[in-house]
Amino acid sequence: MSILVFAFALGVAQFTAVPGQKSDYSAKDTRDVVREYGDCIVRRHEQTASRAILADADNHQLRRDYPYLFDNDCLSFKEPGWTLISFEGDQFRYIVADALVRAEFAKSAAPNLTNVAPLSHGDPGAPPASLDSRGKPVNRQEYDRAIQNYRTAEAFTFLSRYGECVVRADPAAARALILAMPNSPEEASQFAAMQTSLGACLAAGQQLKFGKLDLRGTIAVNYYRLAKAAAGAAQP
């Protein structure tokens, strides 16, 4: 799974593969910027955004099938010049789904998920092989990069399944979390209120080490997919 990195300047967006850039933004500023970015994307491309999230499109599919979602006009610049934004794993989907939930379900009660079928989730596949088809060691740098990408994909696949479990355990709490502003007292209260469901979806002794953006994001993606499935199931 690749890291999505966007470079914005003079109205031109480019894709590059330069992860690991040091940010000039604080953690709070970063979450504010990506929230505004997601809100703008949904305002301008709501139907496309919805299709992408419901299709559970991976990064390759997003770039290929939904290029208009990477809208540089939606970026709020801190300073003039180039700005790099990188989204690792499913983080781009997280900000889009978060905005979709707030746009479409802010005035709707949490759905009844009893009869909603399990969601499909990405599969990282088998780990990369250290030997090529002739039995010779592959290039070390390429292998290390492939292993890193595989581990990222594996982690975000786990997080995706975990998010579905959390939403199913308490849809109302999941909805309240997504409607709360990032870094607000309300968000902190909602995370605290969800400790039971967050813990219940982990195996005994298992630990989850992700930031609030990722945890809230997987809840947003799964809430949106489950709520739309529930709405469709309710149609005559």
**C-alpha to C-alpha distances, 185 to 24, 35, 172, 191, 213, nearest whole angstrom:** 24, 17, 18, 10, 15
Report pLDDT for 89. Answer: 72
Q: What is the pLDDT of residue 16?
A: 32
Domain boundaries, the chain: 4-234
Q: pLDDT at position 76, please?
A: 63
**What is the widest separation between alpha-carbon atoms in the chain?**
59
pLDDT at 31: 81
Which residues of the chain fall below pLDDT 50? 1-23, 78, 80-82, 234-236
